């Protein structure tokens, strides 16, 4: 049986992940489940509600929540890390500051992602240090954002650590595609994919019998993107208007390169003008999340605590986190799962630097992760990837060297920032907004 700590206990996703973990004990049995957060006040309502959920549904599992690293990270097999440094109020700034300059405001792409990356690096590294101090044999499964910058930082600062970086977006897209095809699960789709995190392309998809799914999918995506034809919105992500727009917009991404199927995040790089035109600079995704998901989750957790029971709770097992259970059980029970992960290239994409952190299919077993060879990428993708990966590397350089110049270069190189002068104005604003988090440049 496994002992798990969820780092980022106060996240709006935590209660649904706890629910998912206790319901998946046939695949991934638990002995201990812990929440860890450095914000006691935020974690408390979620921790108390989860305590009740676990007591009612899996009393055999020992559950605690804590802000003490030693308590949080001792005797642990897996750290599931999904922290958000600065919380949603800083996400709001990441999104709104760029929009002031007519630039895409997004939490992982462009200036917002760069700002967030500078905040995330030290805290993710701190979690690795805690894990290595208190449970040196544990694995960290990290899906803290911005995953690309975090992955590059961990490669440089913690090259020998047992950390695997993963993202849910490819899984969410494949869930939609499985629905479109009438398949039971995204796991029925075997794929070939290359790129960076939030910056990749599928070249092949086939079913478990080896039948090519691409022709049918391309016909669909050409017309409807990743949304379903009859608006039968089954994907939980599609239940929200802004996500729906993103899934539909995939058809315009596909139009640019009909040889592949795109990751939806490419919309920020292919069509930044469209994104800015459709953004409200006074009300961004952070506001939507704070007004809805955050409010609902915290209200529901307080209600559970007040009533002393979670029997009638509206919190459901978080489907979006199934991949984390899959990854953990592949490592624990040697299932040889094929999963898209963010790993050191090492030749997986043959015409890119072996040191780049790329997102490709990997086989996961108890021995760790083995990337599969995806061959060379075409000129269009190669150009985009080289530019974007250089941005991510410059951010990590800037963090390590405390370099204003490198961060200015990173912003200038970002495809969605129009000029060095806009980059400089943005940088000065971001420095001011992040003064409690960034090193002094
Ligand atoms: C997707 C991405 C994540 C991101 C999330 C934000 O799942 O893959 O990297 O954190 O979207 O979703 P939200 O609902 O908070 O805007």
SS3 396: helix
Q: Is 144's pLDDT higher than 60?
A: yes
Ligand 1 pocket member 168 (CB < 6 A): yes
Span 392-421, average pLDDT: 98
Residue 282 neighbours by CB under 8 Å, 6+ apart: 96
**Residue 150 vs residues 114, 155, 255, 310: alpha-carbon distances, Å:** 11, 9, 31, 35
Ligand 1 pocket member 289 (CB < 6 A): yes
Q: What pLDDT, on the 0 to 100 scale, is given for residue 233?
A: 47
Residue 168 alpha carbon to ligand 1 centre in Å:
8
Residues labelled catalytic: 168, 265
**Residue 277 vs residues 105, 118, 162, 224, 242: alpha-carbon distances, Å:** 11, 27, 42, 21, 14
Residue 103 alpha carbon to ligand 1 centre in Å:
20
Could you tell me the pLDDT band of residue 228, with boundaries at 50, 70 and 90?
confident
Q: What pLDDT, on the 0 to 100 scale, is given for residue 230?
A: 61
The sheet carrying 78-81 orders its strands as 62-66, 30-36, 2-7, 78-81, 139-142, 163-165, 337-344, 357-365, 368-371
**Residue 344 vs residues 105, 139, 151, 376, 382: alpha-carbon distances, Å:** 28, 17, 9, 16, 16
Whether 327 contacts 339, CB under 8 Å: yes
Residue of 301, 320, 184 lying closest to 243 (CA atoms):
320
SS3 22: helix
Q: What pLDDT, on the 0 to 100 scale, is given for residue 232?
A: 47
- Of ligand 1's atoms, which has the minimum distance to the CA of residue 198? 8
Per-residue pLDDT tens digits for 92-127 = 999 999 999 999 999 999 999 999 999 999 999 999
> What's the CA gap between 24 and 131, in Å, rounded?
24
Q: Report the percentage of the chain scoring pLDDT > 70.
A: 98
Per-residue pLDDT tens digits for 299-330 = 999 999 999 999 999 999 988 789 999 999 99
- Of ligand 1's atoms, which has the minimum distance to the CA of residue 240? 14
**Ordered alpha helix ranges (H), 58-100:** 69-73, 87-100
Ligand 1 pocket member 83 (CB < 6 A): no
> What's the CA gap between 256 and 259, in Å, rounded?
9
Ligand 1 pocket member 46 (CB < 6 A): no
Whether 197 contacts 246, CB under 8 Å: no
> What's the CA gap between 429 and 435, in Å, rounded?
10
> What's the CA gap between 108 and 91, in Å, rounded?
10
- Of ligand 1's atoms, which has the minimum distance to the CA of residue 169? 8
Q: What pLDDT, on the 0 to 100 scale, is given for residue 313?
A: 94
Residue 211 neighbours by CB under 8 Å, 6+ apart: none
Ligand 1 pocket member 140 (CB < 6 A): no
Q: Which tokens go with 24?
A: 């998946």
Whether 204 contacts 214, CB under 8 Å: yes
Residue of 293, 381, 268, 324 lying closest to 140 (CA atoms):
324
Residue of 147, 387, 410 lying closest to 269 (CA atoms):
387
Dihedral-angle region of residue 197 (phi above 0 means left; psi in -120 to 50 means alpha; beta otherwise): beta
> Which residue's entry shows tokens 């996400």?
91
Q: Is 195's pLDDT higher than 80?
A: yes
Span 365-370, average pLDDT: 97
Burial of 10 (0-12, 13-18, 19+ CB in 10 A): buried
How does the average pLDDT of the chain come out, rounded? Answer: 96
> What's the CA gap between 78 and 141, in Å, rounded?
7
Whether 106 contacts 30, CB under 8 Å: no
Span 12-33, average pLDDT: 96
Q: What pLDDT, on the 0 to 100 scale, is given for residue 231?
A: 52
> What's the CA gap between 328 and 411, in Å, rounded?
36
Per-residue pLDDT tens digits for 411-430 = 999 999 999 999 999 999 99
pTM (2 d.p.): 0.96
Per-residue pLDDT tens digits for 229-271 = 765 444 554 557 888 889 999 999 999 999 999 999 999 999 9
Nearest protein CA to atom 13 of ligand 1, as residue: 289
Burial of 124 (0-12, 13-18, 19+ CB in 10 A): buried
Q: Strand 357-365 and strand 261-262: pairing?
A: unpaired
Q: Which tokens go with 371?
A: 């990337």
Q: What pLDDT, on the 0 to 100 scale, is given for residue 73?
A: 98
Q: Is 409's pLDDT higher than 70?
A: yes
Residue 324 alpha carbon to ligand 1 centre in Å:
15
């Amino acid at each position: 049986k496994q002992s798990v700590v969820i780092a980022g206990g106060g996240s709006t996703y935590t209660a649904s992940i706890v629910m998912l973990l206790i319901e998946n004990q046939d695949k991934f049995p638990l002995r201990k489940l812990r929440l860890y957060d450095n914000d006691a006040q935020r974690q408390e309502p979620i921790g108390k509600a989860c305590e009740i959920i676990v007591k009612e549904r899996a009393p055999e599992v020992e559950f605690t929540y804590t802000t003490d690293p030693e308590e949080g990270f001792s005797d642990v097999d897996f750290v599931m890390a999904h922290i958000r440094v600065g919380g949603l109020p800083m996400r709001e700034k990441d999104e709104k500051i760029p929009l002031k300059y007519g630039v895409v405001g997004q939490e992982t792409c462009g200036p917002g992602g760069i700002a967030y990356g500078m905040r995330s690096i030290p805290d993710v590294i701190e979690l690795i240090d805690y894990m290595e101090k208190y449970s040196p044999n544990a694995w960290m499964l990290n899906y803290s954002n911005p995953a690309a910058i975090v992955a590059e930082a961990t490669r440089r600062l913690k090259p020998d650590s047992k950390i695997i970086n993963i993202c849910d977006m490819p899984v969410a897209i494949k869930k939609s595609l499985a629905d479109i095809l009438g398949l039971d699960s995204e796991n029925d789709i075997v794929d070939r994919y290359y790129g960076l995190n939030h910056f990749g392309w599928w070249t092949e998809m086939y079913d478990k019998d080896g039948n090519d799914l691409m022709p049918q999918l391309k016909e669909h995506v050409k017309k409807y993107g990743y949304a379903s034809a009859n608006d039968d919105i089954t994907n939980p992500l599609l239940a929200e208007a802004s996500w729906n727009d993103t899934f539909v917009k995939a058809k315009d991404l596909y139009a640019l390169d009909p040889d592949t199927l795109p990751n939806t995040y490419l919309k920020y790089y292919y069509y930044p003008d469209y994104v800015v035109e459709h953004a409200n600079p006074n009300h961004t995704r952070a506001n939507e999340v704070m007004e809805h998901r955050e409010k609902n989750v915290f209200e529901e957790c307080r209600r559970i605590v007040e009533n002393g029971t979670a029997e009638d709770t509206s919190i459901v097992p978080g489907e979006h986190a199934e991949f984390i259970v899959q990854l953990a059980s592949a490592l624990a029970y040697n299932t040889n799962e094929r999963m898209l992960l963010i790993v050191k290239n090492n030749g997986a994409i043959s015409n890119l630097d072996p040191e780049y952190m790329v997102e490709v299919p990997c086989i996961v077993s108890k021995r760790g992760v083995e990337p599969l060879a995806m061959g060379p990428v075409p000129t269009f993708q190669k150009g985009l990837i080289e530019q974007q990966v250089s941005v991510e590397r410059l951010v990590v350089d800037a963090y390590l060297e405390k370099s204003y110049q490198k961060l200015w270069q990173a912003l200038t190189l970002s495809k969605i920032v129009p000029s060095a002068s806009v980059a400089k104005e943005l940088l000065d604003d971001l420095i001011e907004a992040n003064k409690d988090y960034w090193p002094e440049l």
